[in-house]
């Protein structure tokens, strides 16, 4: 079997096109475009390229995005102060704030993320937004998790009553995705297993999955023998590996071997990544709509 490729890039372009009109409407109604501020700390090349991709995507749909840089030597207090200043509007009115992760080692990431007010938290990491998601009344859903669910819905892959196995339990990907797939309604109602580094018999859990999601950060972790024939495999992982022809990006899934077994699979790059960006734009639009009472 050769798996159907789930094209996240194409879906992200469709989502962007549908957001453009809504952004225009909000811009007209509120007298200014929705505004997103992205905080980039230090000079890690991968983070800088993600931030550039987010800012460019925002510009494409008419969202005003600004990148605020801080030095890699910044401490927790400085970054908390910076985020609070942005939230107060020191740099102009703002609808959404995103702090690009990871932050440097000396920084308390939770303290910095907590400085983003819940109503500007377009990444969906604030405890209030996490709580609303866990209670089944989401406001800002973490972008990658939302993107994976959207991809499944768009591809017509049923989730209700299906077994979904997620490998990776981070607060930003695995955990919110588990909540989403287990929630009631469209793109939900799955029976979810959440695996992590202490999981015993990982391969056995994975083989039970109708929908297998890898969100770990280990190239080649998911091999063909861990995948039930016909299963849907979503590869969230982004890993840079060195090869004979220089470095390239790969996911957590052994793509070549697994695509011969799976029914559908996401590529890396071009799978979940573009959807993460599209969902960020959707969350920023939502924040602006909530601000002016349109939602
Ligand atoms: P984290 O490092 O926060 O979490 C990794 C998770 O994987 C943890 O729950 C960890 O378990 C688990 N884990 C580690 N080793 C194993 C193992 N051998 N078997 C089973 N589980 C294991 O990562 P993130 O969630 O932030 O990111 C995961 C991957 O997704 C990364 O490659 C990241 O770059 C990528 N990513 C991609 C995005 C996209 O847009 N496509 C967006 C965000 C992330 P434990 O909890 O026990 O430590």
Closest C-alpha among 234, 161, 153 to residue 187: 153
User: Which CATH superfamily does the domain covering 143-273 fall into?
Assistant: NAD(P)-binding Rossmann-like Domain (3.40.50.720)
Helix (H) or strand (E) holding 144: helix 143-154
Work out the percent of the chain whose per-residue pLDDT is above 90: 97
pLDDT (tens digit per residue) in 152-208: 999 999 999 999 999 999 999 999 999 999 999 999 999 999 999 999 999 999 999
Q: Is the pLDDT of residue 149 over 80?
A: yes
Q: Is the pLDDT of residue 112 over 80?
A: yes
The two beta strands, 239-243 and 246-250, are: antiparallel
| pLDDT value for 243 | 87
**Is 21 in the active site?**
no
Taking CA atoms only, the protein residue closest to ligand 1 atom 39 is 273
Q: Is the pLDDT of residue 263 over 90?
A: yes
Mean pLDDT of the chain: 97
Residue 236, both tokens = 């969230």
- Pocket test of ligand 1: the residue of 51, 204, 236, 270 to mutate, having most ligand atoms within 8 Å of its CB, is 236
**Is 43 in the active site?**
no
Q: Is the pLDDT of residue 295 over 90?
A: no
Q: Is the pLDDT of residue 270 over 80?
A: yes
Q: State the angle between helix axes of 174-182 and 143-154 in degrees (0 to 180), rounded to the nearest 10.
A: 40
Strand partners, 264: 4, 232
Q: Do domains 31-117 and 143-273 have the same CATH topology?
A: yes
| Closest ligand 1 atom to 101 CA | 26
pLDDT (mean) for 24-43:
97
- Domain formed by 31-117, architecture: 3-Layer(aba) Sandwich (3.40)
How many whole angstroms from 214 Cα to the centroid of ligand 1? Answer: 8
How many whole angstroms from 220 Cα to the centroid of ligand 1? Answer: 13
Q: Is the pLDDT of residue 1 over 70?
A: no
**Is 175 in the active site?**
no
Residue 201, both tokens = 């018999």
All structural domains of the chain with their residue ranges: 31-117, 143-273
Strand partners, 64: 35
| pLDDT value for 46 | 94
Residues having CB closer than 6 A to ligand 1 are 144, 167-170, 172-174, 195-199, 202, 215-218, 236-239, 272-273, 276
How many whole angstroms from 196 Cα to the centroid of ligand 1? Answer: 9
- Tally of CB atoms within 10 A around 220: 16
- Tally of CB atoms within 10 A around 223: 14
Kindly name the residue from 64, 95, 121, 123 that is annotated as catalytic.
123
């Amino acid at each position: 079997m050769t798996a159907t490729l789930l094209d996240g890039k194409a879906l992200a372009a469709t989502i962007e096109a549908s957001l453009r009109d809504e952004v225009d409407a909000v811009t007209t109604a509120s007298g200014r475009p929705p505004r997103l501020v992205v905080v980039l700390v230090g000079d890690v090349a991968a983070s800088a390229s993600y931030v550039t991709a987010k800012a460019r995507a925002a510009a494409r749909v008419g969202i005003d995005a600004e990148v605020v840089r801080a030095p890699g030597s910044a401490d927790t207090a400085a970054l908390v102060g910076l985020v609070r200043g942005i939230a107060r509007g020191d740099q102009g009115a703002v609808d959404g704030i995103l702090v690009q992760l990871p932050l440097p080692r000396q920084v308390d990431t939770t303290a910095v993320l907590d400085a983003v007010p819940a109503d500007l938290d377009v990444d969906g990491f604030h405890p209030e937004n996490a709580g609303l998601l866990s209670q089944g009344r989401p406001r800002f859903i973490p972008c990658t998790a939302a993107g994976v669910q959207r991809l499944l819905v768009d591809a017509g892959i049923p989730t209700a009553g299906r077994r979904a196995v997620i490998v990776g339990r981070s607060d930003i990907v695995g955990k919110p995705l588990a909540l989403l797939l287990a929630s009631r309604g469209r793109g939900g109602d799955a029976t979810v297993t959440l695996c992590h580094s202490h999981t015993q018999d990982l391969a056995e859990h994975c083989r039970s999955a109708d929908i297998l999601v890898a969100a770990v950060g280990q190239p080649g972790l998911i091999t063909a023998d861990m995948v039930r024939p016909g299963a849907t495999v979503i590869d969230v992982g982004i890993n840079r590996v060195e090869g004979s022809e220089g470095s390239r990006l790969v996911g957590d899934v052994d793509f070549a071997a697994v695509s011969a077994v799976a029914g559908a699979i996401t590529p890396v790059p071009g799978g979940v990544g573009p959807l993460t960006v599209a969902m960020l734009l959707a969350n920023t639009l939502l924040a602006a709509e909530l601000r002016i009472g349109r939602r």
